Structure 1
Amino acid sequence: MIDDLTETVPARASRNVRTMTPKRLLMCPPSHFDVNYSINPWMVPEKPTSRDLAVAQWEQLRDLYVGLGHTVEVIAPEQGLPDMVFAANGATVVDGRVLGARFRHRERTAEGPAYLRWFEENGFDSVHWPEYINEGEGDYLLAGRTILAGSGFRTDRRSHAEAQDFFGLPVVSLTLVNPRHYHLDTALSVLSDDEIMYYPEAFSDSSRRVLETLFPDAVRASAEDAAVFGLNAFSDGRHVLLPQSAVGLMAQLRERGFEPIGVDLTELLKAGGSVKCCTLELRTA
């Protein structure tokens, strides 16, 4: 495991040609969405929410994916699990191998087994129930053949070695220090095999140095764009779906040849989630 140390990444891709790669995605409709507890700074139970609006915004995201040529599979939401809509937290899937999620907060504990059952029932033969707490792609992001792994608020750092052993891929440990960016996917987004965008102030000094070494030409988000969850984004190599209010990031992405697509998920943001949180990539071998 690479623990806050430098490591090489794949040769820098051409910035002139952007190619869309069709993805297979798993999503969960927010049929039971609500904010009736608080486990992150975004969640304020006293603030009113609209389940109908959450569903409409989620459907817009799903339709965008399908319209771009991606395949979207849907897991049935379960009563009493209002955060199950955030499918990215449900597992990590690489080469058809599934590392299940074990949640830190009791309010979300039942989501891990629910997602694991879906994988077992849908043809995934290599499924692992984790020993240590990890919150799926909330804290594990694949860049090329390297896993960027977050810790500090949710995922247990010991799980990074577990992930490396299970997937047989190098893991780079990154420490989050800003509670408003409690998952890695709220502070960093993978744009291509060798490109990322991130918010430096969300990371420890040592982790910032690692990111600067691995990705010297990364897109760096402003505090304003980070505050609207602009980094909770999804990229297919050409299109980047992200919160529509992250206008600074959109401009930077256009300059680099990407096609940013703004999405309104402000209702789900009340629970601390946006585009990437709703999207789990099913990477098969």
Structure 2
Amino acid sequence: MPVRVPTTRRYLMCPPRYFAVEYAINPWMDPARPVDTEAAMAQWTELRDTYRRLGHTVEEIDPRPGLPDMVFAANSATVVHGRVLGARFRARQRAAEAEHYRRWFVEHGYSDVVMPARINEGEGDFVWTGRMLLAGTGFRTDPAAHAEAQETLGVPVLSLRLVDPRYYHLDTALFVLSETTEGSPGQIAYYPEAFSPGSRQVLARLFPDAVLAGAEDAACFGLNGVSDGRNVVLPAGAGALADRLADRGYFPVLVDASEFRKSGGGPKCCTLEIRK
């Protein structure tokens, strides 16, 4: 079994001070189901502190009233090699989030920040493998945004089509366990049924050693995980996936993200990785 080596990461997160489900823009959201804001804050704090215990740096952006989904920082941008491609949201309710995140990057010294002309929802639909950007489409991100990302970030982009509205962002159906490097092909985990037949074939060719998740793990947002190459942060319900990952030499770390699932989110949705 390969020796799994963690690498330190830098994350940006937004406290869920104003988190609520006030509208429905995905099948998981129901405004009639109340959110426990206190519980959400406790779960978010535990997630943040878990990253710090694992040796990672977590920075925070101040939340804004009237933007209940701003806690889902992953949707705000894609950062590769210090270049920042901002977000352009499909839902009008989230549109204003993009400018607040853009300002954060500018105020923190990022000079190469580009705001997109096409709709893209950041790391919700853009997943960096270490060598290429896997790019989701089908529900949120415009297919033309994939070419825009390639031109802006200067990295290869591979398009994947999502077909199940429950898995409306790529990061709800796939995540990177270990990045591709000179000495390693890298590894991903994904839920095949979330993808079109052609996209499944592409993933099977590129990642023959992938960890495949079942319907139960997908439904609890088990694919909305965050890995540093060894430690894999997963929502608490993803027990079967955690066992599979442990069999592959990873160290699963389970956290309670149940409040965020009410809005169609999990650990990764709350976490934007900043790559220098």
- Tell me if both proteins adopt one fold, taking TM over 0.5 as the criterion: yes
The equivalent residue for 2:79 is: 93
The equivalent residue for 1:230 is: 222
State which of 166, 174, 186 in structure 1 corresponds to 2:160.
Answer: 174
> 3-state SS of the aligned residue for 1:82?
coil
Note the C-alpha offset of 1:217. 1.1
1:69 aligns with 2:55: yes
1:121 aligns with 2:107: yes
State which of 265, 274, 278 in structure 1 corresponds to 2:257.
Answer: 265
Q: Distance in 2 between matches of 1:112 and 1:128?
A: 11
Q: Distance in 1 between matches of 2:15 and 2:26?
A: 21
> 3-state SS of the aligned residue for 2:69?
helix
The equivalent residue for 2:193 is: 201
Q: Distance in 1 between matches of 2:104 and 2:53?
A: 25
The equivalent residue for 1:165 is: 151
Q: Distance in 2 between matches of 1:230 and 1:24?
A: 22
Structure 2: which amino acid aligns with 1:252? R
What is the TM-score when the length of structure 2 is the normalising length? 0.97
Q: Distance in 1 between matches of 2:90 and 2:34?
A: 25
Runs of 4+ in 1 over 2 A off after TM superposition: none
CA deviations 1:112-159 (Å, max 9, x no partner) are 111001001001010001010000000000001100000000000000
1:252 aligns with 2:259: no
Q: Distance in 2 between matches of 1:48 and 1:144?
A: 39
The equivalent residue for 2:235 is: 243
> 3-state SS of the aligned residue for 1:104?
coil
1:130 aligns with 2:116: yes
State which of 150, 172, 195 in structure 2 corresponds to 1:186.
Answer: 172
Q: Distance in 2 between matches of 1:83 and 1:166?
A: 26
The equivalent residue for 1:45 is: 31
Note the C-alpha offset of 1:49. 1.2
What is the TM-score when the length of structure 1 is the normalising length? 0.94
> 3-state SS of the aligned residue for 1:85?
coil
CA deviations 1:175-224 (Å, max 9, x no partner) are 00000000000000111111000000000000000000000110000000
Structure 2: which amino acid aligns with 1:157? P
Q: Distance in 2 between matches of 1:27 and 1:144?
A: 22
Query: Percent identity, aligned pairs only?
Result: 61
The equivalent residue for 1:276 is: 268
Structure 1: which amino acid aligns with 2:191? Y
Structure 1: which amino acid aligns with 2:201? R
Q: Distance in 2 between matches of 1:131 and 1:120?
A: 19
Name stretches of at least 5 consecutive residues in structure 1 with no aligned partner.
Answer: 1-14
Q: Distance in 1 between matches of 2:126 and 2:78?
A: 7
Count of residues in Structure 1 that have an aligned counterpart in Structure 2: 270
